[in-house]
Structure 1
C-alpha cells in the first residue's frame, strides 16, 4: 500500500509525493492520519521565516488511528493498553532521556528532538510530518490514547497548542486569584484562556480582531481589550492598570509571534511579575525594549519552546473533562482536505481563519 505526503520544496511551494507504507519497527507505530491542524510555526516555515527548516515534510498537530504496532509496543506512555484501530496523539518531537539537556531535566530541549522531523520525504520512513495520509511514530516519541469524547479536530491540537500553553502556565506559577494578561486570541491564546480559568485566574485577553475577542469571552475571558479601541501602548497600559486596580498583571503571556508585543508586555506586568514568551520563535526579528523598566520592576522573563512530553497526557485529560464547557471546535475551520494544504496555510497566514483544520482522505 502507498501513502501520500505534502512536501514543501521551497517557501510557499508545495508538491505531493507517494511512498510505500513503511513497516513499524521495534518500539514504533504507523498511524493513519485522520485530522491535522495548521499551527503558527508551520506559517513561519511556509513563509521562509523558520531558522532551520527551509524544505521538507510539514505538519505536526495531528490525531490518527493505529495501523501497525511495532514489536514491544503494548501500551502508551501512560501505561494504557493500545491496539490497532485506537486513536492516538503523539508529541511532534523526540525525548531521548539520554542527552545532556534531558539528563539535566530539560526534556523540552532534547538535543535529538527534531532528528526525524528535519528529514526530507525521500528518506525512510518518509512520513515525518502530519500533512500526509500516514505518520510514523518513533520509539522516543511520547504518545497517548485519545479519550472517546474528544472530536478529531480538537484532539489534533492537543500535541502542540494546548500542551504548549498548559506547560507555559504551569511554569509561570499562576495561582488561584492571580491575574493573567494573554496577548493574542488565536489558537494558543484561546486555549490558554480556558486553562488559566481552570487555575482560577482572572483572565484579560488582548487582540485586534472582534470575532477572536468574542470567542475569548466564551473561553472564559473575564475582560477583553481591543487594539482597535485602545490604539496606543499608553492607552492599553492604562486600561490594564484600571482592570488590575493599578497594580498590573501577575503573569503576562505573549502568544502573538509579533516582536512588538514582547516589548509591550513588560509594561502590563506588576512589580515582581512573570512574563512568558511563547509566540516569538523566529530569531532576527527585532524590537525596541526597555531593559531599565524590566530591572526596576524586577520582572522575570521566560522564553519557552516545546513542552515536557507528559503535558500531552495532561492536555488530553483537560480536554476530556472540559469538552462541553468551552467551544474548542469553533476555533477551527474544518473544510480543508489534504489537497488544500497550501490554501489552509495561506488562509491562516492572512488571519482569514483562527486555525485551519485538515481532514485527511486516504488514497486507494
Structure 2
C-alpha cells in the first residue's frame, strides 16, 4: 500500500472538503485490491465513510435533503455522481448514471487528489449527493450507510418485498446483516444462509427468523429442502445474492418460489462463471434483477433508518473498529480472509 501527501485543495463552487473521521473496507475495495473490479483498477481507494465538513464551496448551504450545513457538521456522501443529464439519468435510472465514476477512478496525483476515503480528507464534487448524519448515529455506524445499507435498502424496495413475505439472504456479511434489518422493517420473514458461525449468530441479533449454516447443510439439495420446510413447501418470495460468489446465483433460483424475484448485488467481478439452469428459471417464471449502485437519495433514507433503529440492532458489532490508516493492509487482509465481518478504519488527525 502506497501513501502520498498533497496540499489540501480549496473547495470549489458547489463542492465540499471534508475531514474523514471513519472509513470502512467494502467488498468493492477487495475487488479493486485483487484486480477483480470491473471498472476501477488503480487510484485512490475507499468510499464508505463519514466525514466532518472543513470547507464549503460557494453555493453550498444545505445538503440534498434541504438541511442547512456548516463547517464542523458530520456528513455522509454517495461515492458516485448523479449528473441528471445523461441518457440513464434522464430515463429515471439515477443509479446507472454514465458519469457516476468520473472522479472515483482517478489517481492521487490528479487534482483535487482526495478522490477516495482511504485518506485524511475527501473531496465532494458537484452532483455528488451528501446528507447530514443524525446526532444519535455514531461514526462507526454512519460510515456504512454508504454503500452497504443504501445498496440493500434499494435492492429490497426494487424486489417489491411485502409484509408477510419470506426473503432468503445469501451471505451474512455487511450487506447481508443490513439487509436483514431492513427486511424486518418491511415485515418479512428472513432466512439467512452463510458458512461463518459468528456471522450467523449476528444475523439472529439483526432479526433473522432462521439461519442456515452451510457447514450443516452442505449441499444445494439439503439447503433447498431446508428452505422448503421453512416455507410450507413453496420457496421464498424473494432471494438476495449478497455474497460475491458466482455459485450462489446458480443456487438461488432453487430457493425461490414460482413467480418469485431474485436480486443479485454481490457479484460484480468480470469473467467469473458458474453453471446455471435456465430451464428452471423459465419454468418457475423467476425475475432476476442485477443491481449496481443505488439511487442516491437512498443514503438519506438509510441514515434515517439508522437513527430510528440505533437502539434496536447492534450495528456497531458488524465492524472491527481497531484499525488505523497505517493498518490499511492489515484491514484489507482481515477482510479478504473473513477474519472480520467489516473492517473499519478510524482516521486520526493531529490538531
Q: C-alpha separation between the residues in 2 aligned to 1:236 and 1:78?
A: 43
Q: C-alpha separation between the residues in 1 aligned to 2:164 and 2:30?
A: 35
Q: C-alpha separation between the residues in 1 aligned to 2:198 and 2:105?
A: 36
Runs (4+) off by over 4 Å: none
Tell whether 2:231 aligns with 1:249: no
Q: C-alpha separation between the residues in 2 aligned to 1:129 and 1:362?
A: 17
2:293 counterpart residue number: 306
Q: C-alpha separation between the residues in 2 aligned to 1:154 and 1:202?
A: 24
When the two structures are superposed, what TM-score results if normalisation uses the length of structure 1?
Answer: 0.96
Work out which of the residue numbers 127, 141, 147 in structure 2 matches 1:160.
147
Per-residue CA deviation, residues 102-122 of structure 1 (Å, 9 max, x unaligned), is 000010000000000111100
1:49 counterpart residue number: 36
**RMSD between aligned alpha carbons?**
0.6
Unaligned runs of 5+ in 1: 1-13
Q: C-alpha separation between the residues in 2 aligned to 1:126 and 1:193?
A: 37
2:306 counterpart residue number: 319
1:9 counterpart residue number: none
SS of the aligned residue for 2:156 comes to helix
1:292 counterpart residue number: 279
When the two structures are superposed, what TM-score results if normalisation uses the length of structure 2?
Answer: 0.99
1:8 counterpart residue number: none
1:282 counterpart residue number: 269
Work out which of the residue numbers 96, 108, 132 in structure 2 matches 1:145.
132
SS of the aligned residue for 1:182 comes to strand
Q: C-alpha separation between the residues in 2 aligned to 1:301 and 1:141?
A: 29
Q: C-alpha separation between the residues in 2 aligned to 1:107 and 1:54?
A: 24
Number of equivalenced pairs: 351
Offset at 1:363?
Answer: 5.0
Work out which of the residue numbers 178, 183, 199 in structure 1 matches 2:165.
178
SS of the aligned residue for 1:18 comes to coil
2:99 counterpart residue number: 112
SS of the aligned residue for 1:20 comes to coil
Tell whether 2:37 aligns with 1:61: no
SS of the aligned residue for 2:2 comes to strand
Tell whether 2:112 aligns with 1:100: no
Per-residue CA deviation, residues 37-75 of structure 1 (Å, 9 max, x unaligned), is 000011001111112322110000000100000000000
More strand as a share of residues:
1
1:258 counterpart residue number: 245
Q: C-alpha separation between the residues in 2 aligned to 1:56 and 1:300?
A: 36
Per-residue CA deviation, residues 240-261 of structure 1 (Å, 9 max, x unaligned), is 0000000000000000000000
2:193 counterpart residue number: 206
